[in-house]
Amino acid sequence: MEKDLIYQKLSAYLDGELTPEEKNKLEGEIALSPDLQKKLGELKKLKQLTVSSVKPLPDSPYFETRLFASLQEHKTSFFTIKKLSPVVGLLALTVLIMIFLKYNPQVIEHLVEQQKSNLAGFYKQNLKPLLYAANLTNEDVFNFAFNRQLPLDKTNSQYLQLGYDTTGNGFFEIKTGNVASNMNNLDKFIRALNLNSQQKEKVDSILQNYAEDLQSQVLVNDKNTVAINPNIWNYNKAILADIIAFANDANEKEFTKIVPAGLPSYDKNSIVKVINDVKRTRDNQYIFFTPDTIFSENYEFDKHKFTNEMKKMKEEMKKASYEWKKYAVNLQLDSSIVKLKHDPSWGKNFNVQFDANTCRVNLPNIIPEIELPDFDSITVQIERAVDIVKQVKVNIPNITFNIPEGSHGKNEFHFKMNIPGHTDKGTEINVNLDSILRQNKYFIQKFSGPGRKGQINVDSLLTSIRSMIPDSMSYFQGNEFKGQMKEFQKEMKKFQQQMKEMEKELKNNKKELKEKKDPIEI
Amino acid sequence: MKLIKIKRKKDLQYPQILQLDDDFSLIQRFIEGDESTFKTLVQRHKDKIRNIIYLTLNSSDAVDDIAQDVLITIYKHLKSFRFESQFSTWLYRITVNKCKDHLRKVRIRSIFGPMNDGDEEPVYIPSTEHKDISEIVNKAISKLPEKLRLPLLLKDIEGLSYQEIADAVGCEIGTVKSRIFRAREGLREFLKPYEQELMA
């Protein structure tokens, strides 16, 4: 072992790996030992053999070229990863957002609500009461109470129908067709109760009051949006209750005849409370029908501001009355709305049904809750009564007459009406035919050309005239008014005859002048 | 003539760079973004790397592939070099490890692959055949165990110090000293049949 250690030192000495001290010491030992000298010689020879025997490695001329090509490839793949890093980052972000939203679903709900509000904001601009534009009469309000129908657009015969489905949930429909307002139900109701003039005025004032309130229940704008306040159902019940309570007080005997089964027992004060509650309820949750969607949203309609605006507008409207049609809405049920039927989120608030002429929206939980007495049983009775009244139909004949040529601007007629039950009050009405004709677009189109001769549908004329007559008196549209119209026709004929006579006189005068001139010339 | 010109050009480049730029300053510049310095490092060390691989594997077959692998590894990790040891030490260590990895893979392949009789060729070479001395010595060297052969060749061929060899193979300096001696003793034993011819 000792020998091996000395030989190891010899090997290290040969390799120059000994410290100077070790080297000096070993050299001393080598000088004295022939064995070490021999071993050192062996090791030297082996080292020489090793160095000389190992073949040198051949050069690789393309080593660097290959290396840097590989490095470039590596860099490219590195940069590809770098390029992909935004995508990877985006993916990571998406996953993070998904995880975040999974545990915080209210955030996305809030965002959706915000977007809805933006869309709602667009459709909520410039909303005006449609019923004002629809020229709502007391007859319409009366029919609304009993038939739950409100005309939306009289020109295009669209109306709003309220109702309850078999499960008792409220719905409303926008229907195309004629409302029952032509049935003169209010007149028949008044006559059936045999009301005096004061009572009639009271009915008128009740209905007029509700007509104003109903204005803010249905709003429209120029973006073809219809906004309906679900509180309209409660108004329907309130009007009904008000009318029934009034009728019962006014003439209980006659009212019992109309409603043979009589009214179910009710507390008058509770009805008054209900009416006040309905009027006081400021439910700003409207249902918006738009060309894109149907949604429910809060909307504050400033009735007073609108009333002030309307006063100003009224003055302007006198100059161009048919501008009102700007607010007339003809709701087109296009395919985009139909598509929304498949949106499951609708099921939460609405159930919408479509057909060619109707758009029906069921609203399970949207009607503001007010405790009401059992009006439904009353309504059944009243509806029966109204059906009885409906059986007596009054058909207004289509009267045709000729408009005298050259009479434009001078057509003022004076009517004196003798109204049964109003014998003490002779009602006088001045009808300015020019102003009525100007309001009638049909007439303007028909008669603006040369030779103003033709027919006019008296129904449209009557509607215009009716607006000048108090509603309680409007039943004179029937036989009484027919008589008045005959008088009017007679006067027109007289006027024509006078004109003809005047023409003849003029011709005669010309002849006379000619006859007188001749002798002078001779 | 062309060869001479190339030689001169090389002679002009290397001494200047070696004098002005040591490994550390080149690495520092590389870390600062000047990747062109890597080329200088490659030019400076590639031969050493290739030779170590060649000596370790005792074959030139996979030398360039492993050398490229070593240099790409160096390129990837150069920015994290901590300047705690010589660059060459780090470089040799990586090279030796890559060689060991390669040999391990070859060994595994040989276990599962077909038998190769050539590997089991006896050391003895008949003297009557007048074999080339270098070939005989090479054969003898190749028969040395890897752990003895590598330190011996790194010392005698590459001229590394015992310390450098110890760092590269991951052992103590005394172990290196012992292994080199044992390698020489083993070589002597293998070459005993040719003693007279070799010592002549």
Query: Considering B96, B119, B142, which residue would you say is the last residue of a domain?
Result: B119
**Nearest C-alpha of chain B: how many angstroms from A49?**
7
Q: What is the DSSP string of A69-85?
A: HHHHHHHHHHHHHHHHH
Of A12, A45, A68, the CB nearest to B177: A12
* Mutation to test the A interface, candidates B136, B141, B184, B198, most A Cβ within 10 Å: B184
- For chain A, give the percent of residues with pLDDT over 70: 53
User: Residue A104: what pLDDT?
Assistant: 85
A202-217: average pLDDT: 81
Phi-psi region at B159: left, alpha or beta (left = phi > 0; alpha = psi -120 to 50): left
A440-455: average pLDDT: 45
pLDDT band at A362 (very low <50, low <70, confident <90, very high): low
- Burial classification of residue B50, based on how many CB atoms lie within 10 Å of its CB (0-12 exposed, 13-18 middle, 19 or more buried): buried
In the block, residue with structure tokens 């429209």:
A220
pTM > 0.80: yes or no = no
Answer yes or no: do A58 and B162 touch at CB < 8 A.
no
Q: Most confidently modeled of A122-131, A264-273, A508-517, B160-169?
A: B160-169
pLDDT at A365 over 90: no
Q: What is the ipTM of this complex?
A: 0.78
- CA dihedral over A30, A31, A35, A38, signed as positive or negative: positive
Q: Are residues A152 and A250 in the same domain?
A: yes
User: Residue B180: what pLDDT?
Assistant: 93
Pairing of strands A427-432, A158-164: unpaired
Task: State the Cα–Cα distance between residues A112 and A89, nearest whole angstrom.
Answer: 26
Q: Are residues A216 and A346 in the same domain?
A: yes
Q: Are residues B111 and B32 in the same domain?
A: yes
Answer yes or no: do B187 and A50 touch at CB < 8 A.
yes
Query: Considering B99, B119, B139, which residue would you say is the last residue of a domain?
Result: B119
Which of A87-91, A461-465, A477-481, B61-65 has the lowest average pLDDT? A461-465
Over residues B162-181, the pLDDT tens digits come to 999 998 888 899 999 999 99
Answer yes or no: do A57 and B60 touch at CB < 8 A.
yes
Question: Is residue B68 within 8 Å of A67, Cβ to Cβ?
Answer: yes
User: Residue B181: what pLDDT?
Assistant: 93
Q: Tell me which residue of A145, A106, A432, B177 sits closest to B169, measured CA to CA.
A: B177
Cβ density class A402-413: b for 16+ within 10 Å, e for less: ebbeeeeeebee
User: Residue A346: what pLDDT?
Assistant: 46
Overall number of domains in chain B: 2
Q: Are residues A446 and A327 in the same domain?
A: no
A433-438: average pLDDT: 54
**Nearest C-alpha of chain A: how many angstroms from B39?**
9
Residue ranges making up the domain that contains B7: 1-119
Q: Most confidently modeled of A115-119, A378-382, B173-177, B193-197?
A: B173-177
Q: Are residues A189 and A259 in the same domain?
A: yes
Identify whether A261 is part of a domain. Answer: yes
* Mutation to test the A interface, candidates B45, B46, B132, B137, most A Cβ within 10 Å: B137
pLDDT at A126 over 80: no
A389-395: average pLDDT: 41
CB-CB neighbors (< 8 A) of B60 in chain A: 57-58
Q: Are residues B11 and B100 in the same domain?
A: yes
pLDDT at B54 over 70: yes
Minimum Cα–Cα distance from B59: chain A residue: A57
Of B43, B50, B184, the CB nearest to A46: B184
Identify whether A109 is part of a domain. Answer: no
Identify whether B199 is part of a domain. Answer: no
Q: Are residues B100 and B14 in the same domain?
A: yes
* Mutation to test the B interface, candidates A2, A8, A26, A62, most B Cβ within 10 Å: A8
Question: Is residue B141 within 8 Å of A53, Cβ to Cβ?
Answer: yes
Minimum Cα–Cα distance from B41: chain A residue: A64
A71-95: average pLDDT: 80
Mean pLDDT of chain A: 68
Of A8, A51, A52, the CB nearest to B181: A8
Q: Are residues B12 and B100 in the same domain?
A: yes
Identify whether B200 is part of a domain. Answer: no
User: Residue B184: what pLDDT?
Assistant: 92
Minimum Cα–Cα distance from B200: chain A residue: A45
Cβ atoms < 10 Å from Cβ of A60: 18
Structure tokens at A98: 């998904």
**Nearest C-alpha of chain A: how many angstroms from B177?**
7
Task: State the Cα–Cα distance between residues A467 and A478, nearest whole angstrom.
Answer: 16
pLDDT band at A350 (very low <50, low <70, confident <90, very high): low
Q: Are residues B102 and B80 in the same domain?
A: yes
Question: Is residue A453 within 8 Å of A403, Cβ to Cβ?
Answer: yes
Overall number of domains in chain A: 4
pLDDT at B182 over 90: yes
Which of A68-72, A127-131, A461-465, B192-196 has the lowest average pLDDT? A461-465
Report how far apart, in Å, the C-alpha atoms of A223 and of each of A126, A127, A128, A330, B177 are: 9, 9, 11, 11, 98
pLDDT at B5 over 50: no
User: Residue B183: what pLDDT?
Assistant: 93
* Higher-pLDDT residue of A265, B105: B105
R_g of chain A computed on alpha carbons: 49
Q: Most confidently modeled of A108-117, A122-131, A312-321, A474-483?
A: A108-117
CB-CB neighbors (< 8 A) of A45 in chain B: 198-199
Q: Are residues B14 and B65 in the same domain?
A: yes
Over residues A177-208, the pLDDT tens digits come to 766 555 677 887 787 777 888 888 888 888 88
Of A15, A53, A71, the CB nearest to B134: A53
* Mutation to test the A interface, candidates B52, B59, B155, most A Cβ within 10 Å: B155
Residue ranges making up the domain that contains A26: 2-53
User: At CB < 8 Å, which residues of chain B contact A?
Assistant: 39, 42-43, 46, 50-51, 54-55, 60, 63-64, 67-68, 71-72, 75-76, 133-138, 141, 152-153, 155-157, 161-162, 177-178, 180-181, 184-185, 187-188, 191, 198-199
B14 three-class SS: helix
